Structure 1
Amino acid sequence: MMPTVVRRLLQASVVGLAALSTACSVLPQAESLTYYQLPAVALTAQQAPASHKNLIIQMNRPHAERLLASSRITVLPQGNELSAYKGARWSDDAPALLRNRLADALRDAAQFRAVVLDSESVIADWELGGSLSAFQVEYVQGTPRVQIQFDALLRDQASGQLIQTRRFVAQQAVDGTAVPQVVEAFGLATDALSLQVTQWLGSLTVVTTTP
């Protein structure tokens, strides 16, 4: 005959396993995510001073607040309420997406000797960074539109001297409310902002002496 103490221990174990099984069965399932790349259209070559052809420009990842610095696709449905599209993510965080898009645009524009990223071990002449204060969908009178705001800082890498600053803003209406339509609008807005940045850099006449 099984001792009473052993029998009670076995009964407690069975009850514990049953409770654990029940708890596991009610845990929420992991959210199914779809990842999106930022659409882009190649820019044509842009005019720039001949001196730019001797320069290497480094693209730095812009600073951003926590939610904007993530891979979430953010939206302001009303007022200052900041949210994100459920089940959708960018392929990288927003500051990295913008940095990479601007770098590609500058390579397309063929204004500089080379365009590099801050993640690469290359000595550059100029650095372009700044802050990303908007990279989101905003609802204006019930209509969604993409809003991007980039405050650019251009400085000389060797001396750290600030060369120029400029605020860039791009807006693009969203043709619908589905996430793929939102992503397409983000692509158009970043294309427009990239063109603004390349034209601005091409208009500068500051000359940096390369050793």
Structure 2
Amino acid sequence: MSRSVIQKFKAAGIALAISGSMAACTVFPVPEAPRVMVFPTPHTLNGNTASRSESLRIDTPMASDPYNSSRILAKPLPWEFRVYGGVRWRDTVPILVRDMLAGAFRASASFQHVVMDPAPGSADLSLSTEINAFHAINQGDSARVTLSVYGQLVDNRSQAILCSNSFTVSTPAEDTSIEAVVLAFGNAGEQLANELIAWATNCNANPS
């Protein structure tokens, strides 16, 4: 192959490389970031006449897919999950539930001191939970939010399970908009927190 032919191939290769580089650098519109929703914290807690002297640690709840994510879920059918597009929770669902419960227990003053894992230091008791439902149920033009957890109150010294119970709450949304659904999640969370606080506070009196 002559030197002139080789030079032509080299020139063609350089031209293709430059053309490819320019194409790769083409500016496309950057997609808008999804809306990030904060799980509403309880505003109204039932007054508790009893207060325990122990300290309490709120463990991060266990959850399997699809609840172990930051997606906002709906169940149009009993066997199907769908995701609200363009929007997500600020963190994964287990972190949201842990933070919500810790804030609610602190506000209720049901225990002497309330910490969250993985905070350093020890506590007398631990609240361990497992998330079994955290989704909206769409029914035509209406929606309901369902939260369900299984809870255990554990003595950290002996590792004995003092009480265990399942909790399920369901709250209607005003409509099917994401704003109404998120508000319904907050209302359901408030009801769930109230039930857990009452149960944990009275655990020794009525173990279950």
TM-score range with shorter-chain normalisation? 0.7 to 0.9
Kindly state the Cα deviation for residue 25 of structure 1 after the two structures are TM-superposed.
5.1
Aligned-partner SS, 2:180: helix
Whole-Å Cα distance in 1 between the matches of residues 19 and 196 of structure 2? 62
Matched residue, 1:47:
49
Matched residue, 2:11:
10
Q: Choose 173-182 or 55-64, whichever is displaced more.
A: 173-182
1:107 aligns to 2:122 (yes or no): no
Whole-Å Cα distance in 2 between the matches of residues 200 and 184 of structure 1? 25
Whole-Å Cα distance in 1 between the matches of residues 77 and 17 of structure 2? 48
**1:141-160 mapped onto 2 (5 Å cutoff):** 143-160=142-159
**1:132-143 mapped onto 2 (5 Å cutoff):** 132-140=131-139, 143=142
Whole-Å Cα distance in 2 between the matches of residues 135 and 8 of structure 1? 62
Kindly state the Cα deviation for residue 17 of structure 1 after the two structures are TM-superposed.
4.0
Unaligned runs of 5+ in 2: none
Unaligned runs of 5+ in 1: 207-211
For the Cα contact (< 8 Å) 2:138–2:176, is it kept in 1?
no
Kindly state the Cα deviation for residue 22 of structure 1 after the two structures are TM-superposed.
4.1
Please report the RMSD computed on the Cα atoms of aligned residues, expressed in angstroms: 2.3
Matched residue, 1:64:
63
Q: Choose 153-162 or 28-37, whichever is displaced more.
A: 28-37
- Normalising by structure 2, we get a TM-score of 0.87
Aligned-partner SS, 1:43: coil
Whole-Å Cα distance in 2 between the matches of residues 194 and 151 of structure 1? 13
Kindly state the Cα deviation for residue 202 of structure 1 after the two structures are TM-superposed.
2.1
For the Cα contact (< 8 Å) 1:42–1:105, is it kept in 2?
no
Matched residue, 2:183:
184
Q: Choose 84-93 or 12-21, whichever is displaced more.
A: 12-21
Q: Choose 161-170 or 173-182, whichever is displaced more.
A: 173-182
For the Cα contact (< 8 Å) 2:153–2:200, is it kept in 1?
no
For the Cα contact (< 8 Å) 1:58–1:116, is it kept in 2?
yes
Whole-Å Cα distance in 2 between the matches of residues 35 and 103 of structure 1? 21
Aligned-partner SS, 1:159: coil
Whole-Å Cα distance in 1 between the matches of residues 172 and 25 of structure 2? 45
Matched residue, 2:36:
35
Q: Choose 186-195 or 25-34, whichever is displaced more.
A: 25-34
- Normalising by structure 1, we get a TM-score of 0.86
Kindly state the Cα deviation for residue 153 of structure 1 after the two structures are TM-superposed.
1.2
Aligned-partner SS, 2:96: helix
Kindly state the Cα deviation for residue 28 of structure 1 after the two structures are TM-superposed.
9.1
Aligned-partner SS, 1:139: strand
Matched residue, 2:202:
203
